[in-house]
Structure 1
Amino acid sequence: MFTESEKKALDILLGSNRISEEFFLYWNDAVNADGYSSKLLLMFAAIDALIKPPGGGARNTRLREPILGQNLSREICGPPPNGLRNRLVHGEYFSPIDVDDYVTRVHEKIVRYINDEILHDNLIEEGVTHPQRNFYDNVHTAGRWIQQIDDAWPLALKKRARKLRS
């Protein structure tokens, strides 16, 4: 379901030649990823696709800072040993300095950039709570039928409450 402003944003984005198709493919993969590091790495790939001219050419790495802001750009794309993107891509997992919710921060910056620089209007909602949430660690369904076959073992099913990760 789309609101009127979201439909307008979609129409503009689909007609725009400023964002490559790869950005949308990576962003879709990031939205559907359930692990934190995989989601973050896909978001970093989406940023790389966003700073690459549609139709090819070299990435304009100077665009990272206008998109992410100076501080977040330095935290993510800074030179080793500090840049989170470089550390994750090269096999170093999160460290004690990586305490921020980078997924939410990156999401907010991307949406703000698209609203400001592509749409020139606040058509995509920026104040979404947990914008990159998915169903990881929620109650899952198996899509199977369970049938009791022995009266000696009564089938008693109950829903187990699980705490959502924040």
Structure 2
Amino acid sequence: MHAYAAARGAGDAVRFLGHVDEETKHEAYERAWLLLLPSLKEGWGLVIGEAGMHSTPAIAYRSAGGTRESIDDGVSGVLVDDKVGFTAALMALLGDERRRRETRQGGTVDEPTPTRGTVPSPPSRRSSAPRPAAGGSGCCRSAGSGP
């Protein structure tokens, strides 16, 4: 991935965080404009729910599995059918700040009361600063979007 980004002139625009602790992961979701989940098969799509905790909309394949249950298509993210649709959804949301803001608001849900044995999500530290796209694992973000 590092070589792929560098070969396309994006080496300075993308940071690969690798494995991170919970706090850093939630900070990455908080700063991200979008969650991109390019998996063709996804059993549950936990990252969609994690991103949704921070009102970060997702783009994912409709046929991947758990994505249909996790994304309200057009409201909290976008479900696509193929690579062309994935790229088109990404470009459309990156190029339309108003639509990104709408999908962030659509992705906000009341969190259920934690049950015994669960850990509540960290409080939102939503910033009005621009948010870059994050990779499916919350591992990537644009340089200059935070520490």
- What TM-score results when the alignment is normalised by the length of structure 1? 0.31
| More relative contact order, 1 or 2 (CA 8 Å, 6+ apart) | 2
Structure with greater Cα Rg: 1
Task: Decide which structure has greater helix share.
Answer: 1
Task: Decide which structure has greater strand share.
Answer: 2
